């Protein structure tokens, strides 16, 4: 199967949604990307690149973002098209984001249509950031070997067998994956484990499970099960990606952001620092949502 590629422009949408999630931590703001709203005229679903939903005490505001990752500035036609989409989907506010900026006519039109114009540009350094990135020690499972121990020693041990519930339902091997995943995730971190291959044994109780000898048809109650998890320890450095997020006006800084990708095996997301001089900032971990790519 060919590797699924991210559609053009999606990287900018992910960047904006990540920054907005970091800015909205601890508030009543939720972020979706992408988001689908019904067209009030046709009833068909329309897609917004990023959607902020702000829950008030007695009202809800929705802010739709259009992320234009093009080789040119945003034009009047782009603004008009997005403004129409905002009307048709009934959002409270429209925002356009472009690394290239906006034409003068587009800025005039957006002001008339109450569309905010923002820019996000790559930065080389920030005077408040000394670190170049994040160093991570990651434990990544490779494969698991299961052994099931009947309450009574079987001699000889069956070679063709299955695992069943008390009512005779067959269980597939992946039925036990959540148990070992949880145990591995909760495993106390061994600080001095060197990079390389390792293994760890977990013992599980097995109430109500039976081992079926397919040759004889006899079922044997299982006393316990052992899972041996083979995993690797990786020492990884992830550099920060730096971005300035601004209004498209002089001195219109919203925030500066330093972002490092983090893949911890069971958890994937981004380590984000957002900071604005004179206002301070915060450090957050933004869990990466599951995205369905077309």
Cα(64)–Cα(254) distance, rounded to whole angstroms?
Answer: 17
> Quick check: bond before 266 cis, omega within 30?
no
Cα(147)–Cα(102) distance, rounded to whole angstroms?
Answer: 63
**Each residue's pLDDT tens digit, 46-64:** 999 999 999 877 889 999 9
Higher pLDDT, 170 or 290: 170
pLDDT at 290 over 70: no
pLDDT at 120 over 60: yes
| Token pair of 161 as six digits | 């067998």
Cα(250)–Cα(117) distance, rounded to whole angstroms?
Answer: 12
Tell me the three state secondary structure of residue 22: helix
**Each residue's pLDDT tens digit, 129-187:** 999 999 888 888 899 999 999 999 888 888 899 999 999 999 988 888 888 888 887 77
| Ramachandran angles phi, psi of 219, nearest 5° | -105, 140
Query: DSSP character for 197?
Result: E
**Each residue's pLDDT tens digit, 194-252:** 889 999 999 999 889 999 999 999 999 999 999 999 998 888 899 999 999 999 776 68
Strands 45-48 and 35-38: antiparallel
| Token pair of 131 as six digits | 């670190």
b/e sequence 218-242, b meaning 16+ C-beta within 10 Å: ebbebeebebebebeeeeeebebbb
Which domains can be identified in the chain, with CATH numbers? 10-131+240-287 (3.40.1350.10), 134-236 (no CATH)
Cα(128)–Cα(275) distance, rounded to whole angstroms?
Answer: 9
pTM of the model as a whole: 0.75
């Amino acid at each position: 199967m060919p590797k699924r590629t991210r559609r053009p422009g999606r990287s900018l949408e992910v960047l904006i949604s990540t920054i907005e999630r970091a800015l909205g931590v601890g508030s009543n703001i939720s972020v979706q990307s992408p988001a689908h709203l019904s067209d009030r005229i046709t009833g068909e679903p329309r897609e917004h690149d990023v959607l902020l939903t702000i829950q008030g005490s007695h009202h809800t505001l929705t802010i739709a973002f259009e992320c234009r990752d093009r080789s040119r500035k945003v034009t009047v036609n782009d603004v008009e098209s997005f403004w129409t989409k905002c009307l048709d989907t009934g959002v409270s506010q429209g925002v356009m984001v472009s690394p290239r900026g906006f034409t003068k006519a587009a800025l005039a039109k957006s002001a008339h249509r109450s569309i905010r114009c923002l820019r996000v540009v790559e930065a080389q350094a920030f005077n408040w950031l000394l670190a170049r990135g994040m160093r991570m020690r990651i434990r990544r499972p490779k494969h698991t070997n299961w052994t099931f121990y009947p309450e009574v020693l079987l001699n000889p041990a069956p070679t063709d067998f299955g695992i069943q519930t008390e009512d005779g339902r067959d269980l597939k091997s992946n039925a036990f994956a959540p148990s070992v995943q949880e145990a591995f995730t909760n495993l106390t971190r061994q600080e001095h484990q060197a990079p390389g291959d390792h293994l760890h044994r977990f013992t599980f109780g097995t109430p109500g499970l039976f081992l079926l000898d397919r040759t004889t048809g006899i079922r044997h109650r299982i006393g316990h099960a052992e899972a041996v998890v083979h995993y690797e320890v990786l020492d990884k450095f992830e550099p920060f990606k730096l971005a300035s997020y601004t209004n498209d006006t002089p001195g219109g800084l919203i925030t500066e952001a330093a972002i490092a990708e983090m893949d911890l095996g069971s958890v994937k997301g981004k380590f984000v620092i957002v900071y604005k001089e004179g206002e301070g900032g915060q450090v957050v971990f933004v869990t990466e949502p599951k995205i369905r790519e077309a």
